[in-house]
Each structure stands twice: as C-alpha cells, then as structure tokens.
Amino acid sequence: MPDSRFKVLTSASTSGPGDAGRTGSWRVERPILDYSRCIPAKTGKSACHLCWLYCPDNVVSKAIEPKIDLEYCKGCGICAEECPAKAIEMVSEENFVAGGEDE
Amino acid sequence: MSEKLIDSGNNAAAMAVQLAAAEVIAAYPITPQTPLTEKLSELIAAGEMDAEYVAVESEHSALGVCIGAASAGVRAFTATSSNGLLYMSEQLHWAAGARLPMVMCVVNRGIGAPWSVWNDHQDAMSQRDAGWIQLFAKDHQEIVDITLKAFRLAELVHIPVMVNYDGYYLSHTYMPFELPDAAVVKEFLPAYEYAHALDPQKPESLNTVTLPDSRNDINGVKQPGYMDIRHNLHQEMRLAMDVLEEIDADYQQRFGRGGTPIIDPYCCEDADYIVVAMGTLANQFRDVVDRLRQEDGLKVGVLALQIYRPFPTAKIAEALQSAKGVMVYEKGLSYGNQGALYADLKSALYPYPARPQLHNFIVGLGGRDIRTEDLCQTLKSACLQDDLSSPEQTDTPQWIGLQL
Ligand code: SF4
Ligand code: SF4
C-alpha cells in the first residue's frame, strides 16, 4: 500500500462509454446498422453480438436490436469489420452534416 | 539468524531478491548481469524460492512481464546491463508513468558501439529521465541492503527502483557480507498490495489514451490529464527521498546498518576539497583521500552519491557549502556537453551562496583501468591549481587514462 502522503495519480478508470471523453467528435465515418441483416434482430434471439463484444469504446448495446451511442462512437469501423452478417456499413459523416445530402 | 557469507556481488543481489520474496522474475541474460538471474533461476528450480521465473526472448519483454506482474499486484524483479537496459527503455518510461512498483538491478556496463562488456555508468545515466529512482551501491553489503530497501521504497511511493552496481568490480568479485534474518526481513517488508490490481470482477481501463485535459469519468469523478499525472510523478519522486530516509532508519534499527542512504561522506567535515563520485569509484577514493591527507597534508574528502534520481539537490549543495573545490569524477557523460553528474551538481549549487570551484573528470569508460595513482595525481593537482584558466577551460571535462 502506498504511503498516505502519496496520491499516486494514474490513469485508471471504470471502463464504459465516455471513458476516453467525448470520442463521438473524432468520427469521420458513422456505422449504420441494417436490422434486416442483423442476426439477433432477424431471429429475435440474443445471439451474435460481436459488435458489442469488439467495440473498443463499449458503445454498442447488447440488445435484440443493437444500438450504437453516437455521442461516444469514434467511428473506428471495428464493428463493421467483425459483423459476420455485413449488417453494419460505415458511411461518411459528410452525409450527416447540416445541409448535407441526408439532413 | 543473519548469515555471514563470502560470495560474488551478483549472488549477493540474488540472495537479497530471494529474501525480499519477489514473486515474478523475468530477465534476459546479458553480461555481467547473467550470473544474478542464473542464481535466481537455480533457487527457484531447487524449490528454495517460491517465484515464477519467466524466460523471455528480450529485455523489452522482461520488463513487459514485470509490468504485467506488478499490475496484477505481484512483486516483480528483473535485472539487466548496458544495451539490455536500453532495449527496455520504452518500458522503463511505461512502468514509471503507470506508477508500478518493481525493482531492477542494473549491473553497470559500457554501451556499444563499439561493443564492450566492461564497466562504466553510461547505461544508467542514459535512463536518468525515465522516471525511475536510481540508487547506487558501493560494495556487496550495500547491494544486499539497498536491494531490500528498494522493494519497500518502490511499494510505498509507487515508483520503480533501479539498484545500480558496477559490473565486474562488484558483480564478479567475492567479498564478505551479511545476509539479514529472513523473519525480520518479512517484518521489514510487508506484502505488496495494489489498489488497481487487475481483477476480472472489477474491470478498469488502465493507462489508456489520456487526453491533454482532465475530464470526468463515466461516474462523474474528475480524472487527471496526462500533464497532471506526470507532475504528480515528479513531485512524489522528490518526496521519495524522505521516505527512503525513513526506510533506512527502520532498516538500521532492525539490522544495524544504514544512516547514509542519500549521500555518504568520508572525511568531509573539515575538507577544503571534496570529491563527488558514485559506486565503487567513491570507495576507491577513500584510499586516495587517506593518502593525500597523510602524505601531502591536503584536507580532502569524498562524498559518495547513493541516489542519482531523484537528485538530492539540497542535501548535496549544503554538504559542499564549505568546500573550496569540488571534483566530480564520473564514468559517463552527456556527449557533446559534460559529465551528467557534474552538470547536475553545478545546477544544484547555483542557487546557493557558496559556489565552490568545480572540476570534472571522466574515468574508466568501457572498463579502462582506473589507477589509484592517477586519481591521486589529478586530485592533488586540481587542489593545488591556481585559478588561472579561463571559465571555459575549467568547465571542460578532463579525461583520465587516455591512451592516445
Ligand atoms: S455483429 Fe452484426 S449481426 Fe452480430 S449483432 Fe452486431 S450487427 Fe448484428
Ligand atoms: S465504429 Fe463501431 S466499433 Fe468503432 S466505436 Fe463506433 S460502434 Fe464501436
């Protein structure tokens, strides 16, 4: 145990969405989930959830219809890469800025 | 019962690590450190030490294993020399920044190129800014005592500690020393506990990308940013000197040896001229001091620096306030400038009223023989030198024993 005079500042925190700050602002591409392909959504069973498992920022919910918290999703694309059903597509953020094509 | 032995410096270190009950040893062999880790692996294989010996493929991995062990709340030890220490360099900074306590013996040796297996201090000096506490031993007894104190220091201040001792001069020579009683060592060195020990039931993110600014974590608790963490390491490293003195006082009470954990002066009370040196070189100077006092009536003394990082700025500057001249002899340098110890000492003295005349001598690089005769000659002429040289000349290191 450290001496009580010592604070021993380290980088140690509870893992979870937002643990590394507002990482949503880092995003260049946004993951878009297609429930018509997603295994749990299609079967109604709690299955697969590889996106939830692999997301390094812990921002995908482990639900029948997995949801991505865009406040913290940094757009790394790991979920899209790991999805066995190709249900996640990475779409350029340009499409979502005000005045862009989709908004 | 304590035990009196005659053995090598490397074996003395191994027996101290055994007494300290290190639980994970990870090391890669490199001359002149090799017999130390061989001895530890023998002790473990013979069932005389309850530890995991992890044979790794490089020094980088050796320290990586120790970082993992310390992160899991386990007492870890490694040892290396020279280029092996440099191969660990990235991990050295990591262990310090992560505030993981562990002890490493560095059996000091010159750095290649050209290849050398012999002693100097360049390996340790090159890692002085890594955030490790650096202690220096002068003999076998100090290897034992400092290693035991190092474990307690590391675990109390949560900063890794390097125990330096001279390759061959100490590692391979035999000297008498006393090994303390195991039961008393156990009282002196309680088990290591770590608040953030890896625990699957309580997952935490450790040392992940830490943003420049402090931030609130997911529980709304303010978390320090990179600069705050590094500032704390610096502040607490300075404070670690007080803790080392307290540990040393406790050690002295239990085992009867100690009292000079920061600086170890010899004949310095009335000295006009004081030599500052580290490791065995400081002990060699005790003979020189005796001789110059006897034969030449020169009031000389030698001050051994037992800790190089954190640098004991105030202690050493105060100890030199009444000296007319200070001669720094060292086995390493900052290439293109001066001896690193000399430069540190000069900067320590700057804010103090008395700034004695300073001299810098570079000796023994790559094992070049350090003749006591040469030390006598150079020290004597530095003492007697009238201050006629230019500031630049006095500030330029003199190399002793060159064969050009
Ligand atoms: S990895 Fe793909 S299929 Fe599996 S749960 Fe996630 S989105 Fe659905
Ligand atoms: S892109 Fe996918 S894996 Fe990456 S942070 Fe966003 S949700 Fe997580």
Chain B, window 209-228: residues with a beta carbon less than 8 angstroms from a chain A beta carbon? 209-211, 215, 217-219, 221, 223-224, 226, 228
Nearest CA to ligand 2 atom 7: A73
Confidence of residue B387 (pLDDT cuts 50, 70, 90): low
**Does residue B187 lie within any of the structural domains?**
yes
**Does residue A5 lie within any of the structural domains?**
no
Q: What is the average per-residue pLDDT within B94-106?
A: 98
B141 and B18 inside one domain:
yes
B184 and B272 inside one domain:
no
Nearest CA to ligand 2 atom 5: A73
Nearest CA to ligand 2 atom 3: A55
Q: What is the average per-residue pLDDT within B134-145?
A: 98
Q: Quote the pLDDT of residue A22.
A: 84
Residue span of the structural domain in which B140 resides: 3-193+245-251
B310 and B170 inside one domain:
no
A76 lines ligand 2 (CB under 6 A): yes
Confidence of residue A10 (pLDDT cuts 50, 70, 90): very high
Q: Quote the pLDDT of residue B195.
A: 86
**Does residue A6 lie within any of the structural domains?**
no
B43 and B178 inside one domain:
yes
C-alpha span between A54 and B148 (Å, rounded): 44
**Does residue A88 lie within any of the structural domains?**
yes
Query: A–B: how many Cβ contacts below 8 A?
Result: 80
Q: Quote the pLDDT of residue A16.
A: 81
The partner residue sitting opposite A12, judged by closest CB among B204, B215, B239, is B204
Q: How far is B183 from chain A (nearest CA, A)?
A: 20
Identify the CATH number of the domain in which residue A66 sits. Answer: 3.30.70.20
Candidate from A66-70, B12-16, B118-122, B190-194 with smallest mean pLDDT: B190-194
Confidence of residue A21 (pLDDT cuts 50, 70, 90): confident
- Ligand 2, atom nearest to A69 Cα: 7
Q: What is the average per-residue pLDDT within B221-247?
A: 96
**Count of domains forming chain A:** 1
**Does residue B161 lie within any of the structural domains?**
yes
B131 and B276 inside one domain:
no
**Does residue B199 lie within any of the structural domains?**
no
Candidate from A53-57, B55-59, B178-182 with smallest mean pLDDT: A53-57
As a whole number, the mean pLDDT across chain A is 92
- Ligand 2, atom nearest to A30 Cα: 1
What are the tens digits of pLDDT across the range B77-87? 999 999 999 99
Q: Quote the pLDDT of residue B72.
A: 95
Report the complex ipTM.
0.89
Identify the CATH number of the domain in which residue B98 sits. Answer: 3.40.50.970
Q: Is the pTM of this model over 0.90?
A: yes
Instruction: Answer yes or no: is pLDDT of B51 > 80.
Output: yes
The partner residue sitting opposite B210, judged by closest CB among A6, A11, A14, is A11
CA–centroid distance, residue A11 to ligand 2 (Å): 22
Identify the CATH number of the domain in which residue B272 sits. Answer: 3.40.50.920
Q: Quote the pLDDT of residue A103.
A: 44
**Does residue B203 lie within any of the structural domains?**
no
- Ligand 2, atom nearest to A82 Cα: 3
**Closest ligand to residue A46's CA:** 1
Q: Quote the pLDDT of residue B11.
A: 98
Q: Quote the pLDDT of residue A14.
A: 83
**Does residue B235 lie within any of the structural domains?**
no
Q: Quote the pLDDT of residue B385.
A: 84
Q: How far is A13 from chain B (nearest CA, A)?
A: 5
What are the tens digits of pLDDT across the range B238-267? 999 999 999 999 999 999 999 999 999 999
**Does residue B142 lie within any of the structural domains?**
yes
Contacts of B209 in chain A (CB under 8 A): 20
As a whole number, the mean pLDDT across chain B is 96
Cβ within 8 Å, pair B155-A20: no
Confidence of residue A99 (pLDDT cuts 50, 70, 90): low
What are the tens digits of pLDDT across the range B3-12? 999 999 999 9
Instruction: Answer yes or no: is pLDDT of A98 > 90.
Output: no
What are the tens digits of pLDDT across the range B151-181? 999 999 999 999 999 999 999 999 999 999 9
Question: Which residues sit opposite A14 in a β-bridge?
Answer: B204
**Does residue A102 lie within any of the structural domains?**
no
B182 and B277 inside one domain:
no
Confidence of residue B388 (pLDDT cuts 50, 70, 90): low
Residue span of the structural domain in which A88 resides: 23-96
Q: How far is A100 from chain B (nearest CA, A)?
A: 31
**Does residue B257 lie within any of the structural domains?**
no
Nearest CA to ligand 2 atom 8: A55
CA–centroid distance, residue A74 to ligand 2 (Å): 6
Instruction: Answer yes or no: is pLDDT of A102 > 90.
Output: no
Instruction: Answer yes or no: is pLDDT of B25 > 50.
Output: yes
Cβ within 8 Å, pair A6-B157: yes
Instruction: Answer yes or no: is pLDDT of B214 > 70.
Output: yes
Q: What is the average per-residue pLDDT within A43-53?
A: 96
**Does residue B375 lie within any of the structural domains?**
yes
The partner residue sitting opposite B193, judged by closest CB among A1, A9, A14, is A1
Q: What is the average per-residue pLDDT within A45-55?
A: 96
Q: Quote the pLDDT of residue B339.
A: 98
Residues with C-beta less than 6 Å from any ligand 1 atom? A 33, 38-40, 48-51, 66, 83, 85, 87-88
B26 and B149 inside one domain:
yes
**Count of domains forming chain B:** 2
Q: Quote the pLDDT of residue B341.
A: 98
For an interface test with B, which of A3, A5, A72, A74 has the most B Cβ atoms less than 10 Å from its Cβ?
A3
Q: Quote the pLDDT of residue B9.
A: 98
Confidence of residue B396 (pLDDT cuts 50, 70, 90): very high
What are the tens digits of pLDDT across the range B286-344? 999 999 999 999 999 999 999 999 999 999 999 999 999 999 999 999 999 999 999 99
CA–centroid distance, residue A97 to ligand 2 (Å): 19
